[in-house]
Amino acid sequence: MDIQQLIHKDIERFYAVEIPESSIQVQKTKKEFKGHLTLVVFPLLRISGKNPEQTAAGIGEFLVKNQPFILEYNVIKGFLNLTVAPAYWLQVLKDIHETEGYGTTQAGADAPLIMIEYSSPNTNKPLHLGHIRNNLLGYSIAEILKATGNRVIKTNIVNDRGIHICKSMLAWKRWGEGETPESAGKKGDHLVGDYYVKFDREYKRELAGLEAAGRTGKEAEEQSALMAGAREMLRKWEAGDAETIALWKRMNAWVYAGFDETYRALGVDFDKIYYESETYLEGKEKVLEGLAKGIFFRKEDGSVWADLAADGLDEKLLLRADGTSVYMTQDIGTAKLRFDDYPIHKMVYVVGNEQNYHFQVLSLLLDKLGFEFGKGLVHFSYGMVELPDGKMKSREGTVVDADDLIDEMIRTARETSTELGKMENCSEEEAQAVSRIVGLGALKYFILKVDPRKNMVFNPKESIDFNGNTGSFIQYTYARIRSVLRRGRDFIAAPDAGSAEPCFTISEKEENLIRMLSEFPAVVREAAGNFNPAVIANYVYDLVKEYNQFYHDYSILRETNEGLRRFRLILSLNTGKIIQTGFSLLGIQVPERM
C-alpha cells in the first residue's frame, strides 16, 4: 500500500467515516517548507467542521501517534506538511528492489486493446527527419501504453498509390534508362525519391516555358503535359493496366526494402501494415453507399462531396470527377478494415498538427456512415520538426534524410566519445556498438524530451553532449552506475529495510533519491494518460541529476559501514534499473560501458 493510501485509511479512522479518494490530495512538500509530503486539507473541512489550521493539526497529531512512518508535522494555513521516517524510505527501496518490472504493468488477456498508427510514409521518397519524430513518438507511445497494462497493436498505413507515386513512376519511365538500386548503388527509397524530385524540377521547367509563351499560371498548369501524364498513369493504375501495375510493384518493392532498413536502424517496428492500395476500394465503396443514402452529394462534374456546413465546417471532396480517390477515401476504408480485423477499444493516429482538420473531418464522416467508433478516434496531433534554417520540402529535395541523419549521429558520437577519452578501453567492436547506442540515443532523446504538441528545432550538434539535458549525459551516468556495481558486486544484498533501528542513518539526499524512484509508476501513468513521452524523458533526466549529486557527495565503495555501503549499492542498482526501464519506454538503449 503506498503512502497516500495509508494516509487515506488513517484519516478515515480518525473521522470514522468513508472518505472519497479524490478528497485526499497528497503532494510533494515545496522546497521552502519542512517536510516530505503535504496534505491539502481544504477538501476535508466539511467533514471536520473546523477551520483549515485546526483540521490540519488534528490530522497531524493523529498520524504522528498512530502511523510509525510519520515522524512529525507542521501546518502552513490549509496545508499539512509531514516528515517521513527514514525506515519508511528503506522499506520503499526494498519494495522497489524486490518488484520485477517496477513501474510497469503487464496486460491481462481482457485488457483494453489500443491500436497506434504511426509512420504512414509515401512510397515516392525516403523517410526524413519529420518521419523520425513521427516514428519515435508512435513507438514510444505504444511502449508506454503497454507498460500501463494495455494490449497494443502498432500499425502503419503505407500510402503506396496516388498522384505523387505516379510522378516518381513517370519520371523513372521517361528518364530512368532502366536504372535500379543495384546499378545506381543506392537504397531503393532514395532512388525513387530522386525521380520524385526530378519530376518536380521538370514540371517547373515546363510551367516556366508555357508562361514564357504567354500562358497564365493557371493555364500553364492545365496544359502541362507532364502532369497530364501523371494523372493518366493514375487512371491506368486504378483501371488495372498490366504495364502500369508491373512498374508500380517494381518501384514499390525498391522502396519497401529501403524503408525496412531504416526502420531497423531506428529501432521501430509494427505488428500490422496496411496498404492504401488495399484499403482505398473499401473507402470508395463506403463513400458510394453514403452517396446512395443521401449522406453525400455529387457535383455536376461527377465528383462526390460531403457537406459539413451543419457541423461548422465546409465541403469535403471524397471522390474526384474522374472517380479516383483522395486520402480521406482511403482513411475511411482503412478504419473500417482495422475495426473488422481487431476488437479495438481505442484507435490513436499519430499524425502531425498540419492534419488536424483532416482527422476532425474523418471522425465526422465515419460517424455519419454509421460506424460507432467514429467519434472515439484519437488524433495525437504533434508539432512539426524544423531545422535551424527553416522547414524542409520533399519536392525540392531539401529534407534531412533519415538514413543520413542516423549515420551522422553515430559518427558524431564516435568522434565526441573519442575526444573525451571514453573509448580508451574499448575494442573496435565495442566502440562501434557504443557509438551506435549513444548516437541513436542522442537523436531519440533530443526529439522525445520536447513536449510533442510543440514545434521543435532539431540541431544535431546540440544533441550529443555529455553534460546537460541530453541522452548522452544520461547514458554516461547509467554506464557509471554499472561500473560501480561491477566493482561492488560482492557487497550487494537486500538492504536493511523496514528495521525499527537500522544500523545506519540515511541522508536527506538519499531520501530524496528514493522518493524520486518511488514516483516512477506515477510518471509512467501520467505519460500514458497524456500520450507524452517527454514526461518520462525529463523525469529520467531529473533522476540522473539527483543521482549524480548523491554520487559526488557520498562514498559508495569506500564506505566503511557495511550496511550503509550495501544500501548505497542497492540504491545505485535501482536507480540504474529505472533509468534503463524509462529509456526502454522511449526506445533508447543504455550501454554497460562508456
Last residue of a domain, one of 84, 102, 130: 84
The grid coordinates of residue 134 equal 513521427
Q: Does residue 95 fall inside a structural domain?
A: no
Nearest alpha-carbon partner for 398 in 386, 411, 380, 412: 386
Label residue 305 exposed, middle or buried (CB < 10 Å: 0-12, 13-18, 19+): middle
End-to-end Cα distance, the chain: 38
Residue 564: the pLDDT is 92
State whether 370 and 418 are in the same domain. no
pLDDT digits (tens, 9 = 90+) for 243-275: 999 999 999 999 999 999 999 999 999 999 999
Residue 389: the pLDDT is 64
Beta bridge partners, 350, equal 380
Q: What is the CATH number of the domain that holds 474?
A: 1.10.730.10
Residue 498: the pLDDT is 42
Q: What is the CATH number of the domain that holds 206?
A: 3.40.50.620
Contact 251, 169 (CB under 8 A): yes
Residue 491: the pLDDT is 80
State whether 171 and 229 are in the same domain. yes
Q: Does residue 101 fall inside a structural domain?
A: no
State whether 140 and 254 are in the same domain. yes
Which value, in Å, is the radius of gyration of the alpha carbons in the chain?
30
Q: Does residue 398 fall inside a structural domain?
A: no
Please give the C-alpha separations between residue 5 and each of 11, 21, 62, 100, 505, in angstroms, as whole numbers: 10, 8, 16, 22, 26
Residue 398: the pLDDT is 55
HSE-CB at 49 with a 13 A cutoff on CA atoms is: 1
pLDDT at residue 476 greater than cutoff 90: yes
Q: Does residue 392 fall inside a structural domain?
A: no
pLDDT digits (tens, 9 = 90+) for 278-324: 998 999 999 999 999 999 999 999 999 999 999 999 999 999 898 87
Q: Does residue 400 fall inside a structural domain?
A: no
Q: What is the mean pLDDT of the chain?
A: 91
pLDDT at residue 157 greater than cutoff 80: yes
Report the phi/psi class of residue 301: left, alpha or beta, with left for phi > 0 and alpha for psi in -120 to 50: alpha
pLDDT at residue 62 greater than cutoff 90: yes
State whether 459 and 352 are in the same domain. no
The grid coordinates of residue 453 equal 504538441
Q: Does residue 238 fall inside a structural domain?
A: yes
Contact 336, 282 (CB under 8 A): yes
Q: Does residue 409 fall inside a structural domain?
A: no
Domain count along the chain: 3
pLDDT at residue 153 greater than cutoff 70: yes
What range defines the domain where residue 558 resides? 414-584
State whether 194 and 317 are in the same domain. yes
pTM: 0.89
Residue 396: the pLDDT is 46
Residue 43: the pLDDT is 94
Last residue of a domain, one of 84, 109, 134: 84
Residue 372: the pLDDT is 86
Residue 305 neighbours by CB under 8 Å, 6+ apart: 296, 297, 298, 299, 315, 316, 317, 318
How far is Cα 383 from Cα 134, in angstroms, rounded to an integer? 10
Last residue of a domain, one of 344, 368, 386: 386
State whether 256 and 360 are in the same domain. yes
Contact 29, 45 (CB under 8 A): no
pLDDT at residue 509 greater than cutoff 90: yes
How would DSSP label each residue in 254-314? HHHHHHHHHHHHHT---SEEEEHHHHHHHHHHHHHHHHHTTSSEE-TTS-EEEE-GGGT--
State whether 282 and 368 are in the same domain. yes
Q: Does residue 190 fall inside a structural domain?
A: yes
How far is Cα 295 from Cα 77, in angstroms, rounded to an integer? 60
Please give the C-alpha separations between residue 496 and each of 149, 563, 567, in angstroms, as whole numbers: 32, 7, 7
State whether 183 and 78 are in the same domain. no
Q: What is the CATH number of the domain that holds 19?
A: 3.30.1360.70
Residue 394: the pLDDT is 43
Question: Cβ of 37: how many Cβ atoms within 10 Å?
Answer: 19
SS3 call for 325: strand
State whether 72 and 201 are in the same domain. no
Residue 502: the pLDDT is 61
pLDDT at residue 500 greater than cutoff 50: no
Residue tagged 519508511 (cell numbers): 88
